[in-house]
């Protein structure tokens, strides 16, 4: 009976041990699978670190994710020039409403090929195209009316060899070029753009004497009093280049600080201070520059109009030799004087500091000129100022954009691949993929007045940069997946340890029962053999 019981126990242990070993093999396979998943997740993450996207960089170095509308809708971002998305045959990718408008206007046929017609390109054809675009909602009614009612620019052959219009709102000029530019630049009326008329300062005279018999104020250049005609035709470039000073006879009516502030405001206004926000002027090329022009006035007043230095017995002819060494008001026995040149330099320096931020520029303004570091002393410093010769009329900019689009459709036709068009227009990821892989191209205006199709990097605006959002998303997904797999691996490890312990115990018991059976069998054989 004992032998039978031992045999039954032996079979049970054997069965359980085999089951545990089988489970152990399964757990080992699962651990191997987890290891492979971890390796794949790590590999995918490493691959995602090289993910890139296409961006558009405007003239101010601002970057935006590249989209169809950014290239095909007139705006300051594309400088009102169309950057045409084209297929491998050079045909333009259009929205459905734009394609239908071009078809209805007779520019293209159903196959997207340019229609052979004497009416295209022409003013009548352009107008019909714009009317259809407006009717289909492909462009705003405002833009449609702008183009149709623009009598000044009208229809041109832009993009097919016509005149290239300068649309750069601002130019970057180094200090030397900027000063010369201010001496010669003309406004839209043909007058010098940076002139500052100082002939109207109350009580201002041109006498070299500041005796009590004469009015209070005089402006000099290197000690020479300027005439009313010279004062009327001064410009900021001249003032920066010479030693110009405002001097006043000591007296109750000779408030040099107030007169200096009046002149400072005139300087600032010529440079764009408080100008019409819709009309850039001088250094006022955007809201940031406008704010910097405003803030710089108060700092310049503190630098130049509120401090007094006594220079002893001075006479007017050597005022320039004294006061131009200071940024502030200087006082002699019978006069006060301030350097207008230093005041203008201080204003431009404070403007740069306001624009770039404290501590971001090497320029400092101290009491004495010899201790000050001005922007105008750095020939490599760049001032960004309004481009006086640019096309700035919103009506002309929009009209020129659609003239070029119309002319290119008449020349090259439109893409008829609806799937490609819809995805490129609505999905920026597909757009980037198609451009990278040569399925789509960008046609842009060249210096000879024609459009040329090329790689997306050749137009000066589109570039490829790391896709930080995609990388961050991949990192998040990797960390979540890694955490789950690590937890699963730890769970499997615990299961494996428990199974190993159970197998070890079963093995011990297996050996014990096996010995009992062996001894029982041996005992029986011994008994019967006797």
Q: Are 82 and 404 in contact (CB under 8 A)?
A: yes
Beta bridge partners of 55: 65, 463
20, HSE (Cβ side, Cα atoms, 13 Å):
19
Average pLDDT of the chain is: 84
Give percent of the chain above pLDDT 90.
37
Return the minimum-mean-pLDDT range out of 137-141, 172-176, 221-225, 234-238.
221-225
User: How much is the average pLDDT of 220-243?
Assistant: 88
Residue with the two structure tokens 């000044």: 152
pLDDT surpassing 70 at residue 72: yes
Q: Which tens digit of pLDDT belongs to each residue from 466-490? A: 777 776 777 788 788 888 878 888 8
Banded model confidence at residue 278, pLDDT cuts 50, 70, 90: low
Q: Are 132 and 126 in contact (CB under 8 A)?
A: no
pLDDT of residue 446: 92
- What pTM value is reported for the model? 0.58
Q: Which domains does the chain have, with CATH numbers?
A: 2-50+469-529 (1.10.287), 63-164+394-439 (no CATH), 170-386 (no CATH)
Q: Which tens digit of pLDDT belongs to each residue from 155-200? A: 999 999 999 988 877 788 899 999 998 988 877 677 888 999 888 7
Q: What is the DSSP string of 349-417?
A: HHHHHHHH-TTSSS-B--SBGGG-B-GGG-TT-EEEEE-TTS---HHHHHHHHHHHHHHHHHHH-B---
Name, in order, each residue with C-beta under 8 angstroms of 18's C-beta and a sequence gap of 6 or more.
Answer: none
Banded model confidence at residue 7, pLDDT cuts 50, 70, 90: low
Q: Which tens digit of pLDDT belongs to each residue from 408-437? A: 999 999 999 988 889 999 998 899 999 998
pLDDT of residue 1: 45
User: Which residue has better confidence, 421 or 16?
Assistant: 421
pLDDT of residue 171: 80
pLDDT surpassing 80 at residue 370: yes
User: Which residue has better confidence, 406 or 315?
Assistant: 406
């Amino acid at each position: 009976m004992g032998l039978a019981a031992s045999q039954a126990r032996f079979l049970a242990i054997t069965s359980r041990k085999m089951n545990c070993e089988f489970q152990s093999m399964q757990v080992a396979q699962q651990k191997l699978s987890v290891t492979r998943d971890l390796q794949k997740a790590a590999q995918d993450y490493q691959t995602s670190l090289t993910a890139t996207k296409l961006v558009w960089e405007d003239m101010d170095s601002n970057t935006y994710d590249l989209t169809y509308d950014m290239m095909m809708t007139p705006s300051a971002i594309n400088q009102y020039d169309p950057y045409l998305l084209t297929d491998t045959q050079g045909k333009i990718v259009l929205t459905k409403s734009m394609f239908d408008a071009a078809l209805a206007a007779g520019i293209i046929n159903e196959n997207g090929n340019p229609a052979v017609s004497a009416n295209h390109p022409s003013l009548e054809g352009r107008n019909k195209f714009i009317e259809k675009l407006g009717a289909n909602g492909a462009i705003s009614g405002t833009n449609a009316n702008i183009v149709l009612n623009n009598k000044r620019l009208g229809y041109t052959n832009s993009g097919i060899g016509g005149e290239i219009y300068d649309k750069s709102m601002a130019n970057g000029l180094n200090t030397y070029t900027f000063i010369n530019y201010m001496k010669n630049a003309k406004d839209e009326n043909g007058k010098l753009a940076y002139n500052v008329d100082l002939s109207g300062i109350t009580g201002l005279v041109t006498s070299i004497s500041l005796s009590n018999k004469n009015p209070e104020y005089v402006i000099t250049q290197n000690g020479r009093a300027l005439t009313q005609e010279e004062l009327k035709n001064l410009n900021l470039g001249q003032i920066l280049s010479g030693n110009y000073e405002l001097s006043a006879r000591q007296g109750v009516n000779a408030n040099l600080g107030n007169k200096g502030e009046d002149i400072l405001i005139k300087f600032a206004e010529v440079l764009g201070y408080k100008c019409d926000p819709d009309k850039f002027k001088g250094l006022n090329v955007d809201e940031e520059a406008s704010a910097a022009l405003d803030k710089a006035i108060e700092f310049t007043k503190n630098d130049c109009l509120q401090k007094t230095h006594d220079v002893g017995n001075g006479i007017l002819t050597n005022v320039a030799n004294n006061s131009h060494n200071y940024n502030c008001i200087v006082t002699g026995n019978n006069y006060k004087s301030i350097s207008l040149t230093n005041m203008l330099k201080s204003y431009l320096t404070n403007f740069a500091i306001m624009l770039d931020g404290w501590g971001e520029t090497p320029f400092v303004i101290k009491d004495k000129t010899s201790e000050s570091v001005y922007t105008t002393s750095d020939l490599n410093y760049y001032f960004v100022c309004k481009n006086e010769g640019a096309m700035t009329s919103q009506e002309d900019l929009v009209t020129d954009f659609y003239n070029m689009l119309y002319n290119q459709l008449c020349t090259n036709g439109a893409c008829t691949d609806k799937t490609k068009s819809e995805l490129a227009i609505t999905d920026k990821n597909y757009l980037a993929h198609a451009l990278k892989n040569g399925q789509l191209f960008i046609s842009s205006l060249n210096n000879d007045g024609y459009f040329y199709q090329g790689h997306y990097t050749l137009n000066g605006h589109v570039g490829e940069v790391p896709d930080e959002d995609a990388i961050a998303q991949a990192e998040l997904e990797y960390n979540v997946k890694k955490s789950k797999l690590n937890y699963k691996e730890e769970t499997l490890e615990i299961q494996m340890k428990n199974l190993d312990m159970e197998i070890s115990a079963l093995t011990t018991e297996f050996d014990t029962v096996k010995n009992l059976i062996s001894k029982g069998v041996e005992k029986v054989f011994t008994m019967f053999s006797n």
